[in-house]
Chains A and B, each alone.
Chain A
Amino acid sequence: MGSNIFVWVEQFKGQPASASWEAIGTARRLADELGGSVTACVFGGEGVEPLAQEAISYGADKALLAEDATLADFRVEPQAALLGKLVREAEPLAVLIGATFRGRELGPALAVELDTGCIADCTALELDGDQLVATRPIYAGKLLSKCVIPERRPQVFTNRVRAFPKPEPDAARSGEVVRVEPVLAEDDIAVKVTGFQATEGGVSLADANIIVSGGRGVGGPEGFEPVQKLAQTLGAAIGASRAAVDAGWIPYEHQVGQTGKTVSPDLYVAAGISGAIQHQAGMRTSKIIVAVNKDPEAPIFKLAHYGIVGDLFKVVPALTAALKKKLG
């Protein structure tokens, strides 16, 4: 069994997922400790070749590149079959996959394919000899668990988006790019992608550095207006609590929390959100949390780093104005 680490590089129409570079950064750190190497797996349609070099610039030693129409739009079967075959051949110690929607599907499928274990949604990964020890949140982040895959190899992990630092790319890094062929033919793949439907514009919650969220306190759909203005000023994504989504004030795709998205931005502004445990589950790992709420007893103030007790319809516009003044 080697001391190499494989990383699956996710892309959508040639655009890479940041979580994959975060995975490569972590794989690099672990491989350096082990004296091993990092192999990036880039599987997509025609035109994904530049991602192989990009993966190397982020820290991979080698990239396995497959360009084929069957791999163009993500489907778990051809990705897992090809990744599984390459992993069986190279016998890496571990496989890292960004815990995006696609990664969360691929990781367990790969583990089944290889008859090994998968530890999902890791927020830390350390070495204990050649055993990787993962930390992952359980019970909506109320507890953390250390997890290991003691006997089976390789160890498969999905890394929570933004939980690991994204390395600085170094264009001067060089590495080998090896072309590989898909394992499944189109006829072998049950799932067909029939098309994509774009949702409204704006910053995606998962990748946002800053998120401004509104809750029950915004009072109605029009109440999101000051929240949107603040978000626009900050270049932030707009989030919402379940209360605001259930009330029909904002679409579900904005929901942060246990039954919505889990986010971990640098800055999370909660406006009119009391901070129920289910909401906290989706945002508690944010680096800095700011709460604006009328109720000084709201649980969100127990989690927040900074708070302003007051009417969000006064405080949020004042924040927008202050930011415009300070940031120019």
Chain B
Amino acid sequence: MEYPLWSLDDVGAEADKVGAAGSGVRWPEVFAPPAREGEAEIIEAETVEESAMLLVDKLLAEKVI
């Protein structure tokens, strides 16, 4: 199918209100978020139960539970 191409006049838009020039917002800087320090700490113990206990201790120390 063919798509109609509309101009600003067709849609009744004012040129100074559209596009980057029409925006009140400017982006002076784009950057990568600071990398998280270190890799995940993989918790490994003899048994699953021990691993779970170790993880709970870590979470208590982080004060998130």
Contacts and interface: CB of A to CB of B under 8 A. Distances in A.
Contacts of A308: 42-44, 48, 51-52, 55
Interface in B26-45: 26-33, 36, 39-44
A322 B41 contact: no
B24 interface: yes
Q: Which of B25, B29, B58, B62 has the most CB of A within 10 A?
A: B25
Interface residues of A, number: 49
B58 to A, nearest CB: 6
Contacts of A143: 30-33
A119 B25 contact: yes
A148 B23 CA distance: 11
Interface stretch (A69-77, A162-170, A299-307): A299-307
A155 to B, nearest CB: 8
A116 interface: yes
Contacts of B36: 303, 305
B55 A290 contact: yes
Contacts of B43: 306-308
B48 A310 contact: yes
A298 B48 CA distance: 19
Contacts of B27: 145-147
A234 B65 CA distance: 7
Nearest to B49: A318
A304 B40 contact: yes
Q: Which of A119, A147, A308, A325 has the most CB of B within 10 A?
A: A308
Interface in A102-153: 111, 116-119, 137-138, 141-152
Interface residues of B, number: 32
Contacts of A119: 25
Contacts of B58: 306
Contacts of B51: 308, 310, 315, 318
B52 A319 contact: yes
A129 to B, nearest CB: 14
A237 interface: no
Nearest to A150: B26
Contact of B41 (A141, A306, A319): A306
Interface in A278-306: 287-288, 290-291, 296, 301-306
Contacts of A296: 42
A307 B30 contact: no
B52 A318 contact: yes
Interface of B: 23-33, 36, 39-44, 48-49, 51-53, 55-60, 62, 64-65
24 contacts: A111-B24, A145-B31, A146-B31, A149-B26, A267-B59, A267-B65, A287-B62, A288-B64, A291-B40, A302-B40, A303-B40, A306-B40, A306-B42, A306-B59, A308-B48, A308-B52, A315-B48, A321-B49, A321-B52, A322-B52, A322-B53, A323-B65, A325-B53, A326-B53
